[in-house]
Structure 1
Amino acid sequence: MRGSTAGLADTLASGSRAHAVLLELADALFASIVVAPAVVAYWKATWTLMDLYVLPENSVGSAAVCTAFGFCCDLLFCLTQNHLSRYLCPDRGRLTYYVLSRLYTCLAGVACVGAWRGAWNLLNECTGDSAKTLLSTTAAATLSLAALRSLRNICAAPFAVAVDTPQDYFDVPTMFRTSTRETALYVLDCVFSVAVVGSLVVFVWRGSWALLDMFLFPDDQLRSCWTSLLVGYALVVATFALQAPVRWAAARLHGAARLLLADVYHLVSFLATVNVWRGVWGLLDIYLFPDSPKISNWCTHIVSLTLLILLNCSNSIIVRGVYIDGEEPAGECVVFPCHYLRLFFHKERTKKRHRQALAAAALAANRKIEEASVPLQMPEEKV
């Protein structure tokens, strides 16, 4: 769910320090107040629609169908990412690219929700929901991700905003970064990234969510959801506020110490994320047309997806790719990829500089033409 921030600091490092701080604060607010609720609403609506339409009388069969569909689509998108990037680009037609890329997002979003719902429900059927089992499976999955240096993949909105840029619209980073020229190894890499790492992330989310259901006011759903939402956003504020000192500390640490700091910081951000998601999800169930689940969830699905597409960050709904803990240099490994407004203003500044450079070049060319067109005056002969 989380993107890489490698190289972004240097790209966006322009303007005054106060201006940069204001944009960073605006990005955090945008990710927390706009993107995160919209992403959660999309997932909640799509998940519930699958409950209503995909073999509703057979829970195991429904989970199996969703798992097969979701993982097959995720694997297909991973295997064909280079071909999609090559043939679906604005250079081949902007309207065609825009329509097909957004259709890709719609299908990939449904596939991701299906894969998660299937694995989540199959785990419920196979392991049960006792506290001891939940704690053990969650701890085992968390330690496994940490051992694979991929714990950061449990993070999601509001700590990750995927901007829909043509350059990396279809990119799906794999665990071992295998080249597509090594066909067999690349296929195995994609399978491992989608099936193993993806499943471990689902296990962590499922266990954490179920434990909150079990211990956070289990007899009062409304109170439980509001508490989860408030706790989640309080942790979001604290996590964003701690980013500067944690980044400073990470830049001065090396090796295992820096990796441990990054993992702890990502775990704190995950606790904030899962509480926010659980709170928004539960409150939508309670307040948004609870007596008409089909109308409620279809409206939520369409409105949230349309909003994210119009905001140019619809890929935030997709869970894809494997990002390695500490792969960015120095303190960049603890920077969350929430660069929506900063990327927008950087793009506008780049366009302005380009226009100014073109205008200056045109002015210089005009001056040369004028100088060349002035006739040379012959010196007067002396009498």
Structure 2
Amino acid sequence: MRGSTAGLADTLAGGGRARAAALQLADVLFASLVVAPAVVAYWKSTWTLMDLYVLPEHAVWSAGACAAAGLAVEVATCAAQGWLARRLRPELGAWYYVLSRVYTLAAGAACVGAWRGVWNLLNECTGSSARTLWSTTCAAALSLAALRALRNICAAPFAVAIDSPQDYFDVPTMFRTSSRDLAQYALDCIFSVAVVGSLVVFVWRGSWALLDIYLFPDDLAKSYWTSLIGGYVLVAITFLLQAPLRWAAARLHGAARLLLADLYHLLSFLATVNVWRSVWGLLDLYLYPETPRLSNWLTHIGSMGLLMALNCSNSTLVRGVYIDAEEPAGECVVFPCHYLRLFFHKERTKRRHKRALAAAAAAAAKQPEDASLTPLQLPVIEEKV
């Protein structure tokens, strides 16, 4: 659900300004209107299916079981990321696709389970009064800001994770320790998942519950539609502010730059939680409400099937810890929504590679008797082209 933009600016450079602006707009619309609703639908259906099937008669035991199993799987996938990247490679062909998607399904269920468990345990232990919600939410947000990890509260539509083989299993840890030191690496994985991840749940749970309290609590339909409209208005405002804030961030340093990035991520989070709450609630209200099992199984299969077909199923995963303002200059306020731009960049790179090979072959054909032109020199010709 989260990501970094480090290095993407240079990677996606190319083309005219008008074309770049059009692709950027298309990426924003794709992330907001396609990926975000599909991700929310997956989370909502998986969460509700756990409500229906995981110890439904015992709320605390159900929450505890989900939290324990989910956090354990998350720590395991974090610790084993290097091993998985070495063993599951595209060279395996169809097996790579099958096994990598099985990983996504398992990791996705673990993420939802961990969040559901921590969320419901908080409900059981702290209650849902406005005063308690305000205090826990603010304390968690300030803790994340102190750890320079506030940006981890962001999610779709402000993050689209492409199912790319080179970083399919990557899970950045809080302290970026090496897996060679097993003790430190294990502690880093546990801290990243159990501490930072739980603080993110605290912020989401408090913000969501406060919206339930203050936003038309006696009329759910009106409340959800208001959240939907307000959320997408804030999404549009956030993306429109990106260019001027990127310019400002590039000229700031230290605490000022960090504060700007954090405030911007808080604005994006306010938009995100409204979009998520509205889509979640509207699905509950209008999609076969009388048959919750059928409704949620259809939503679960359909949403994940769509995301896999679009090659962005990893957008459903909550994994890794990203540091506030870790990217250079103004890139710290750029959201990782580069689906279409990455696609066209790859296609452009393939065309350039084919033209280079064709030019090298043509040059070799023109000089068949030139002994100095050997196959070892073809890459040099390709590079010049």
Scaled to the shorter chain, the TM-score interval is over 0.9
SS in 2 for 1:369: coil
Which residue does 2:375 correspond to in 1? Answer: none
| Structure 2 residue aligned with 1:22 | 22
For 1:66-105, what aligned pairs fall within 5 Å after superposition? Answer: 66-91=66-91, 93-105=92-104
The reply on whether 1:304 has 2:303 as its aligned counterpart is yes
Kindly report which structure 2 residues correspond to 1:307-326, keeping only aligned pairs within 5 A, or say none. 307-326=306-325
Residue aligning to 2:382:
none
The percent of aligned pairs where both chains have the same amino acid is: 75
Q: CA shift at 1:20, angstroms?
A: 0.7
Indicate the residue corresponding to 1:204 in structure 2.
Answer: 203
1:261 is the counterpart of 2:260: yes
The whole-number CA distance in structure 2 between the counterparts of 1:285 and 1:203 is 23
Question: Residue 376 of structure 1 aligns with which residue?
Answer: none
Partner residue, 2:13: 13
> In 2, Cα distance between the equivalents of 1:365 and 1:228?
64
CA distance in 1, matches of 2:231, 2:369: 67
Alignment correspondent of 2:334:
335
Post-superposition Cα deviations, 1:51-101, rounded to whole Å, max 9, x if no partner, equal 00000000000000000110000000000000000000112x120100000
Task: List aligned pairs for 1:167-178, cutoff 5 A.
Answer: 167-178=166-177
Question: Displacement of 1:182 after TM fit?
Answer: 1.1
Please give the alpha-carbon distance, in whole angstroms, between the structure 2 residues aligned to 1:347 and 1:354.
Answer: 10
Q: CA deviation at 1:30?
A: 0.1
Corresponding residue number in structure 1 for 2:377? none
Deviation track 1:315-341 (CA, whole Å, cap 9, x = no partner) reads: 000000000000000000000000000
Mapping of 1:1-383 within 5 angstroms? 1-91=1-91, 93-369=92-368
What secondary structure is seen at the aligned counterpart in 2 of 1:149? coil
Q: Give, in whole Å, the separation in 2 of the partners of 1:183 and 1:58.
A: 37
Structure 2 gaps, min length 5 = 372-385
1:133-172: CA deviation from partner (whole Å, max 9, x where unpaired): 0000000000000000000000000000000000000000
Return the alpha-carbon distance in structure 1 between the equivalents of residues 172 and 315 of structure 2: 15
Cα distance in structure 2, aligned partners of 1:124 and 1:283? 22
Partner letter of residue 22 of structure 2?
A: L
- Superposition deviation, residue 2 in structure 1: 1.3
Q: Which amino acid aligns with 2:10?
A: D
Cα distance in 2 between the residues matched to 1:170 and 1:2: 14
Tell me the C-alpha RMSD between the 2 structures. Answer: 0.7
Whichever residue aligns with residue 346 of structure 1, its letter is: H
Shift of 1:243: 0.3
CA displacement at 1:18 relative to structure 2 = 1.0
Letter aligned with residue 61 of structure 1? W
1:151-203 residue CA offsets vs partner (Å, 9 max, x unmatched): 00000000000000000000000000001111110000000000000000000
SS of equivalent residue, structure 1 residue 123: helix
Give the whole-Å Cα distance in 2 for the aligned partners of 1:131 and 1:57.
Answer: 27
> Which amino acid is the alignment partner of residue 187 of structure 2?
L
Distance 1:368 1:312 in 2: 44
- Measure how far apart 1:371 and its partner are: 6.9
Structure 1, unpaired ranges of 5+: 373-383
TM-score, normalised via structure 2 length: 0.96
Paired residue type of 2:269:
F
Distance in 1 between the 2:156 and 2:93 partners?
28
- The separation in 2 between residues aligned to 1:45 and 1:361, in whole angstroms, is 54
Q: Which amino acid aligns with 1:12?
A: L
Which residue identity lines up with residue 30 of structure 1 in the other structure?
A: F
